[in-house]
Amino acid sequence: MRIIVSGGGTGGHIYPALALIKRLQQRQLLDAVLYVGTESGLEEKIITQEKINFQTIKIQGFKRKLSWYNLQTLQLFLSSIGKAKRIIRHFQPDVVVGTGGYVSSSVVFAAHLLKIPTLIHEQNSVAGLTNKFLGHFVDKIAYAFNDVTQQFKEKDKLVFTGNPRAQEVASFQANARLTEFDLQPQIPTVMIFGGSRGAAPINKTAIQMLPQLAHRSYQVLFVTGQVHYNNVRQQVAKLNLKDNIKIVPYIDDMPAILPDLALVVGRSGATSIAELTVLGVPSIFIPSPYVTHDHQTKNAQSLVNKQAALMIAEQELTGDRLLALIDQVLTDRKLQAQLAQNARKLGVPDASDRLISVLENLIKTRSGAHGQT
């Protein structure tokens, strides 16, 4: 299979694409792959580190208010379609996949114009503007949350696959990684984590709780984010923290430590949910209210509705309330087991293989159609 993949802007668009590529490589189904992104996007760093063939187009996102900036954006979009067409003609893919972010709009739309099979993958419970636009033109729309199906008119194109990131971590087992942080693997541990850059409101609340957490029978792994680490250390310097609390700026290969945890407190991005559900890790979500269409709240609510997670809105977040919920989960084994079991029911351990099956059928169908012409 020769495949072009495009997605960028956030890790939520990039990591599922990367997981798909890796699974294609594992199954020896990949003849050639090209990732198309932007020079300034996060995808440039992540994809080139993986030594995957990478090319760029110049494009930017629309602003919600009318402005000259949007006129420039429209001009860039039109010119980027021409660049994308040239890339596609040169690479000659069997299929083109978009995983979200404005960069994928030009690439997938250009593939549609060139009559190349196309698929988009929507990771969230709220469809992004790019995927809503592309939904009119692509052959298939893969999704991970059932709620999002109401936002696409093209019902015949919809196919549930789950998030490819889930399959990438599905086989992870507890491996005593907690010892790396001088914590005891046999003691229940909660990780408080605001994302790769950290989240100031979550950090502030965690700091408020630390004096009380120091007297709990469970352990706490507080991941501040690189940006906030020094400030947090200064704020807690005078606290008499016990050995059951460890504060770190970041954890490399974060998913590998998830099976060792009894509870995770953090944001509710699509990638995090895919990892937590497939591993059956109980969670307390504090959705970011600053993302487009408040999609993290809707992501989290879909799990809360299935009794697969708990949630606190950021505007309602206090140290007392979060501490009470953490205590509730970690002192009630029945609740822990219920959350873990219900979360695991929502996980999709074969998500990448499902997506690959859709791609193979697209290619086969298109090849058959060409053979009849």
User: In the β-sheet with 263-266, what is the strand arrangement from edge to edge?
Assistant: 245-248, 219-223, 189-193, 263-266, 283-285, 310-311
Query: Any known ligand binding at 196?
Result: yes
Cα 220-225-230 angle, rounded to 5 deg:
90
Sheet strands (E) in the chain = 2-6, 32-37, 54-56, 95-98, 118-122, 140-143, 158-160, 189-193, 219-223, 245-248, 263-266, 283-285, 310-311
Q: Provide the pLDDT for residue 212.
A: 94
Q: 59-63, 65-69, 101-105, 339-343: which has the highest mean pLDDT? A: 339-343
- How far apart are the C-alpha atoms of 27 and 359, rounded to whole Å? 14
Query: Any known ligand binding at 124?
Result: yes
The pLDDT-based confidence of 39 (bands split at 50, 70, 90) is confident
Contact assessment for residue 9 and residue 103, using Cβ atoms and an 8 Å cutoff: yes
pLDDT at 74 over 90: no
Q: Pick the range with the lowest mean pLDDT from 62-71, 102-111, 274-283.
A: 62-71
Query: What are the boundaries of each domain within the chain?
Result: 2-166+350-372, 177-346
Contact assessment for residue 281 and residue 264, using Cβ atoms and an 8 Å cutoff: yes
Q: Provide the pLDDT for residue 373.
A: 45
pLDDT at 93 over 60: yes
Q: What is the pLDDT of residues 144-191, one digit of tens each?
A: 999 999 999 999 999 999 999 999 999 999 999 999 999 999 999 999
Query: Any known ligand binding at 296?
Result: yes
Fold match, 2-166+350-372 / 177-346: yes
Both tokens assigned to 54: 């990478």
Q: What is the CATH number of domain 177-346?
A: 3.40.50.2000
* CA dihedral (200, 202, 205, 207) positive or negative: negative
State the fold for domain 2-166+350-372. Rossmann fold (3.40.50)
Query: Any known ligand binding at 101?
Result: no
